[in-house]
């Protein structure tokens, strides 16, 4: 979901504060975590992202090697 011009103006010009849940509904953030369980939920996501990042790097190195080889 994208912000409409009216919503963006309300946030920027009106300096209206919004909750994390509202930010998620507006598409400004992808997920909201409760403070009491944040670390238990965030750490596994960070580890997963780091693993994917290393796989992307490996794929990139392999792809560049293929391009150089052929």
**CA torsion 15→21→25→26, rounded to 10°?**
20
Domain that holds residue 28: 1-32
> CA-CA distance, 45 to 36, in Å (whole number)?
16
* Residue with token string 């944040």: 38
pTM of the model: 0.53
Co-location of 7 and 19 in the same domain: yes
Same domain, 47 and 17: no
Return the pLDDT at 21: 92
pLDDT beyond 80 at 70: no
- pLDDT: which is higher, 33 or 69: 33
DSSP letter, residue 2:
-
Residue 1: what pLDDT? 59
Residues 43 and 67 in one domain: yes
Share of the chain above pLDDT 70, in %: 96
φ/ψ of 57, rounded to 5, equals -60, -45
* Best CA proximity match to 29, nearest among 42, 44, 15: 42
pLDDT digits (tens, 9 = 90+) for 35-64: 888 788 888 888 888 888 777 777 777 777
């Amino acid at each position: 979901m994208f912000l409409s011009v009216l919503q963006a103006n309300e946030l920027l010009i009106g300096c209206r504060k919004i909750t994390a849940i509202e930010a998620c509904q507006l598409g400004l953030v992808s997920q909201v975590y409760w403070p009491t369980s944040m670390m238990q939920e965030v750490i596994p996501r960070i580890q997963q992202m780091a693993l994917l990042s290393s796989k992307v790097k490996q794929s990139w190195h392999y792809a560049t090697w293929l391009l150089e080889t052929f």
